[in-house]
Amino acid sequence: MSEHFNKVRDYLLDLEYRIVSEDATEELFVVEKEEDGISNVIVDCEDSILIIEGLLFELSKGSEDIYKSLLVMNRQIVHGAFVLDDEGKKVIFRDTLQLENLDLNELEGSLNSLKLLLSEYSDELIEFSKA
């Protein structure tokens, strides 16, 4: 277990995220903050970077219009971005941060970006998930 793992855990607790599960061997957490609409977000310490990922919805079928809308929305996201999984079926929020000089404000900014994204685009995301 690295010092980064412990630091990230402390930051998550300081930010009042509930750690649903943690794996010290893999150096990852699954967190939630229900009042912010954040559920099952993975926070993973990988070598020199911290990866934050949360499944937003699954696509039953993709469409050019949905992909275009997601790319346009990406421009408005302060930290992180919409990404597709390897199969192009799942839309995920993803952000990466440097672990070496990670501070509380930086992690908070990334997680707040997800919170803002969920509140600002909830109607669109729900409609996309029905497509």
User: pLDDT tens-digit profile of 59-73?
Assistant: 887 678 888 999 999
Buried b (16+ CB within 10 A) or exposed e, 85-103: eeeeeebbbebbbebeebe
Q: For residue range 102-126, what is the model confidence (pLDDT) as tens digits?
A: 999 999 999 999 999 888 888 888 8
Q: Which domain holds residue 126?
A: 3-130
Kindly state the average pLDDT of the residues 15-29.
96
pLDDT of residue 1: 52
pLDDT of residue 131: 73
pLDDT of residue 95: 96
Domain with residue 96: its CATH number is 3.30.1460.10
* Opening angle at CA 77, ends 69 and 124, nearest 5: 40
pLDDT of residue 49: 95
Structural domain count of the chain: 1
Mean pLDDT of the chain, nearest integer? 92
Q: For residue range 81-101, what is the model confidence (pLDDT) as tens digits?
A: 999 999 888 999 999 999 999
pLDDT of residue 60: 80
Q: Which two tokens stand for residue 59?
A: 């696509």
pLDDT of residue 59: 86
Q: Is the pTM of this model over 0.85?
A: yes
Mapped to the 3 state alphabet, what secondary structure does the chain carry? CCHHHHHHHHHHHHCCCEEEEEECCCCEEEEEEHHHCEEEEEEEEECCEEEEEEEEEECCCCCHHHHHHHHHHHCCCCCCEEEECCCCCEEEEEEEEECCCCCHHHHHHHHHHHHHHHHHCHHHHHHHHHC
pLDDT of residue 104: 96
Instruction: Give the whole-angstrom CA distance, residue 107 versus residue 131.
Output: 32
